[in-house]
Amino acid sequence: MTPLNVVIVGCGVIATPYAEGFADFPTLRLHGCFDVDASKRDAFAAAQGCRPYPSLEAALADPDADLIVNLTVLPAHYDVTKRALEAGKHVFSEKPLAASSAQAQELVALARDRGVRLGCAPVTHLGHAQQRAGQELRAGRIGPVRVIYAEANHARIETWHGAPHSFYRVGPLRDVGVYPLGVITSIFGPARRVWAYGTAVKPERVTKRGEPFEVEAPDWYVAVIELAAGPVVRLTASFYVTDRGKQPEAIEFHGDDGQLFLAHWFSPSAALEVAAFGQGYAPLEDFTPSTQEFRWAVALDEMARAIAEGRPHRVSGEQAAHLVEILEAAHLSIERGGAVELTTTFTAPEPLPGGPGPVA
């Protein structure tokens, strides 16, 4: 198939792993880049050997540009994606799709009207371990699943990141809680109701340079999410609890007949363990964890193949928009108290053909 010409918009830290991953996929070709910071744009273009555009308008006007990868900051996600869709370009965005559910739904409708593809992170459900977990659960390995526990403990950002302020404006639910939600909804489908609680357990923080600052969003959340298919999810997300704990970023599925433990929702090489009800865990038999690390460009390859094959892609805008509504509902629940009913839905992506493979 002819590779898609990809233009990256937003040349920050994450742009390099995306671009370097293109070498693994003959479906993709890095064509150009743009950033509002001209120095970042030019440095990225020189390092990656692609065309630097003088403006977003110039990038969108390029007839050879097929797919726009939106790696801008959250406040710019909606505007950049909307303009790209209006220009008739396929779009893949980093998470979340937009700042509000209304904006996300508008983007989904716009992509549909223009006849172009819209995809969005997170895409970790394409990983080897995550696909095998879904396969086991769909096959009834632990019986009907009724309860799911998910952890997203991402430690204290200021201890390792030089500019942590943006993380504390967004909060851990939007930043990392969305990852296990992506895996869970990819297996079980959409949610219907959300309750949540959030607070700043450590509001005063200090940067690595010794500069004090205060968090702007809760740094600790717990959300209860009812899935339309039946299971109830308890999700904890934190920028306080260590990511070196016993199960800081794991998902545990509880069924009538036992449990299945996915050691990490991000890593395709995560371990999988199973247990009969009331018994201890053991490694899942006939499962050898992948040695493949997560590849940021994997979703772009999946989208390119879906376009060529004329089928739905497995990182849909509809699912991304539903995740935005879950996050929005959680914050509404915190503000108002009580449960918040959801109005959006989506069709869960098809498992990878032939079972778990080396896609991610």
Taking a C-beta distance cutoff of 8 angstroms, is the pair 178, 185 a contact?
Answer: no
In the numeric block, the tokens 């007839």 are attached to 63
> Averaged over 35-44, what is the pLDDT?
98
Annotate 311-346 with DSSP letters as a single string.
Answer: S--SSBHHHHHHHHHHHHHHHHHHHH-S-EE-----
**pLDDT score of 353:** 84
For strands 220-227 and 191-199, give the pairing: antiparallel
Residue 268 has pLDDT above 70, yes or no: yes
Q: For the segment 97-116, what is each residue's pLDDT rounded down to a tens digit?
A: 999 999 999 999 999 999 99
**pLDDT score of 1:** 82
CB-based contacts of 308-314 (< 8 A; 24+ apart in sequence): 308/1, 308/27, 312/347, 312/349, 312/350, 313/117, 313/119, 314/125, 314/126, 314/349, 314/350, 314/352
The pTM assigned to this predicted structure is: 0.95
Neighbour tally for 34: CB within 10 Å:
27
Neighbour tally for 249: CB within 10 Å:
21
Please name the residues in contact with 20: beta carbons below 8 A apart, sequence gap of 6 or more.
48
Domains in the chain with CATH codes: 4-120 (3.40.50.720), 125-292+322-341 (3.30.360.10)
Q: Helix, strand or coil for residue 357? A: coil
**pLDDT score of 355:** 52
- The more confidently predicted of residues 355 and 18 is 18
Cα 280 to Cα 186: distance, rounded to the nearest angstrom: 27
Q: For the segment 156-197, what is each residue's pLDDT rounded down to a tens digit?
A: 999 999 889 989 999 999 999 999 999 999 999 999 999 999
Taking a C-beta distance cutoff of 8 angstroms, is the pair 111, 312 a contact?
Answer: no
**pLDDT score of 359:** 40
- The more confidently predicted of residues 360 and 248 is 248
Q: 40, 89, 95, 208: which is the annotated catalytic residue?
A: 95
CA torsion sign for 320, 322, 326, 328 is: positive
Q: How many residues does the chain have?
A: 360
Q: What percent of the chain has pLDDT over 90?
A: 94
Summary mean pLDDT of the chain: 96
* Cα–Cα nearest to 67, from 272, 358, 315, 244: 315
Paired residues of 143 in beta bridges: none
Q: Give the pair of three-digit tokens for residue 137.
A: 């659960």
Residue 95: active-site member: yes
Cα 6 to Cα 35: distance, rounded to the nearest angstrom: 15
Cα 191 to Cα 322: distance, rounded to the nearest angstrom: 8
> Averaged over 285-312, what is the pLDDT?
94
Cα 237 to Cα 103: distance, rounded to the nearest angstrom: 24
In the numeric block, the tokens 């839905």 are attached to 345
* pLDDT class of 144 with cuts at 50, 70, 90: very high
How many Cα neighbours within 13 Å face the side chain of 16?
Answer: 7
Q: For the segment 18-32, what is each residue's pLDDT rounded down to a tens digit?
A: 999 999 999 999 999
